Amino acid sequence: MTEDQSSNGSGPRSWVDRIGKALSNLPRNREELIELLEESLTAGVIDEDALAMMKGALEVSEMQVRDAMIPRSQMVVVPSDVDLESFLPRIIDSGHSRFPVIGEDKDGVVGILLAKDLLPHVASGGEHFDLQSAIRPAMLIPESKRLNMLLRDFRASRNHMAIVVDEYGGVSGLITIEDVLEEIVGDIDDEYDAQEEALVLSLGPRRYQVQALTPIDDLNEVIGSEFSDDEYGTIGGLLMARFGRVPEVDDVVVLGDRWEFRVTRADSRRLLTLELNDIQ
């Protein structure tokens, strides 16, 4: 009898039988996959945090932008025809790091303003700030876009905020990359959420507060550094590699003989916030 034959189950099985056997234990739907993940937790293969993230990722694959966006009524916007002194207090009070810039109303979004672009003006003592030259293009997406596809687009375009439009072209809200990630990882420490706190805040001359999830290229742009983002996307990832462990509060590392990072907040698993000093 050849290998392509079987005899009452006692002889060599065909390749079809072998493939069928290999695939028989795979989950056939989302519910079975979740059950398998929960069994993996019980068996000690994964921990509770990993299980929560995997479940969150599965849920995000089914969710649409309208399920996670900040609604139009709650958007903090900057009118395109006002001067810095008029809107700076509101920017500071909000604590956000990005703001839609609008024309006549919220349907007329003309671009995005990053709070970090105001740092040179604030640090210099109030020299003229040209809002029009600081506006960055706005990314427009439909309410029906799936969150997992939006996350992919965010990463590809390096945008962190998108304006959500309804079927008639009106603005219905906004969404940030942090909103999408929060749907995946669940509730996270407020100070680790860049929508609630600016990624880089000036604390005085050559001194900054930096969120660990700040993209390296964004930090380079703000402080004039040249940290490489070839291996790590965020400054937290770069510093974790330099420390070789999860650092503790008040741990210090110096990069490039100039940039001193002191840990101001961390937990047992991740780095959260830092104080950055230019020591040159």
How far is residue 134's CA from residue 55's CA, in Å, rounded to a whole number? 39
Q: What is the pTM of this model?
A: 0.51
Q: Is the pLDDT confidence value at 198 over 80?
A: no
How far is residue 55's CA from residue 159's CA, in Å, rounded to a whole number? 25
What tokens were used for 160?
């962190």
Q: State the Cα angle at 18 between 12 and 24, rounded to 5°.
A: 140
145-159 pLDDT, tens per residue? 988 889 889 888 888
Give, to the nearest 10 degrees, the angle between helix 147-157 and helix 48-62: 100
For residue 96, report the phi and psi dihedrals to the nearest 5 degrees.
Answer: -75, 165
Q: Is the pLDDT confidence value at 278 over 90?
A: yes
Average pLDDT over the chain, rounded to whole?
A: 79
How far is residue 197's CA from residue 180's CA, in Å, rounded to a whole number? 16
**For the stretch 184-216, what's the b/e string if a residue is b when 16 or more beta carbons lie within 10 angstroms of its beta carbon?**
beeeeeeebbbbebbbbbbeeeeebbbbbbbbb
Going along the chain from its start, the domains and CATH numbers come out as 15-46 (no CATH), 66-185 (3.10.580.10), 199-278 (3.30.465.10)
Q: Which amino acid is at 248?
A: E
Do residues 267 and 273 make contact, with C-beta atoms less than 8 angstroms apart? no
Do residues 104 and 116 make contact, with C-beta atoms less than 8 angstroms apart? no
Quick one: the chain helix, strand, coil %, rounded to 5? 40, 25, 40
Handedness of CA 65, 66, 68, 74 (dihedral sign): positive
For β-strands 207-211 and 200-204, DSSP reports them as antiparallel
Q: Is the pLDDT confidence value at 19 over 60?
A: no
Q: Is the pLDDT confidence value at 12 over 80?
A: no
